[in-house]
Structure 1
């Protein structure tokens, strides 16, 4: 069984990785951990100064793609270290694009048997604005998805 785990550094995504490691260990399967960088999100903040509280509230967190890539690599490194602590190795992938499309597209193109994802990611505010990644993955792919709390 080959499993893809979508992570973002949240406790829930760490729980998803731990669950996937346990399941695949019992089945002699492999785990790949993926983090998606979405460059389009960073354009939503704009470069103009914030004009007031209502303007600030409409903007998402704005950071450079390079900072997000670096954070993604740190999250992937942490995931690989967690797996190593449990005597396992994992493959890691830094993906680009909308997380739902990037994760499902990668999972389907690589032939994964299942996807594990945390119930809620790092930012509830972002989730309210752009939707739940876990829900989007479940709705978008024919692959079995396990949502972990």
Structure 2
């Protein structure tokens, strides 16, 4: 049975559903939860941090230090939002009598999730799946697909709710919004 469950979260709409599924399962089998958010420029809503990878280069090209500072502040705000999400969800799980911890790490989401699960000897990874297919998945990739094929333990994928509205689907990047 499952004793240690890793919950891979991002800040998308489906994140809440992923957490609720994992919490319900942890309660049912009396498992411990670890909530993981991987900071990545690949995540929807993340600021562009390409300028921060080599600021000396961009400064040498004449870019303003103020632009780089603004980029750094946006990234810090994004990181703090991730931590606040994790704290809030961990508190909710703890209040439901589920032993919970959380962490936020920088890296490639799929690889970081798989490595974290392997190193922590987790029994299960719970992750969201937006239902992208075809060209969306080919060009954008799929973290859940990577995890399904590379994880060292079982993986539970939580699908986007079937009854999601067109607006929610558009926010998930699956359909163009109506004009």
Q: Normalising to structure 2: TM-score of the pair?
A: 0.62
Runs of at least 5 residues in structure 1 that lack an aligned partner in the other structure? 49-61
Aligned to 2:18: 16
Aligned to 2:102: 92
1:142 aligned onto 2:152: yes
Q: 1:120 aligns with which of 116, 121, 130?
A: 130
Q: Normalising to structure 1: TM-score of the pair?
A: 0.74
Aligned length: 132
Q: Mapping of 1:1-149 within 5 angstroms?
A: 1-38=3-40, 42-43=49-50, 64-120=74-130, 129-149=139-159
Runs of at least 5 residues in structure 2 that lack an aligned partner in the other structure? 43-47, 59-70, 160-179
Question: Quick one: distance in 1 between partners of 2:124 and 2:118?
Answer: 10
Q: Which has the larger radius of gyration?
A: 2
Q: Relative to structure 1, is the Cα distance of residues 45 and 136 closer, same or farther in structure 2, using a 3 angstrom cutoff?
A: farther
Shift of 1:45: 9.7
Aligned to 2:176: none
Structure 1 residues 99-126: Cα deviation after superposition (integer angstroms, max 9, x where no partner): 11111100100000000011129xxxx9
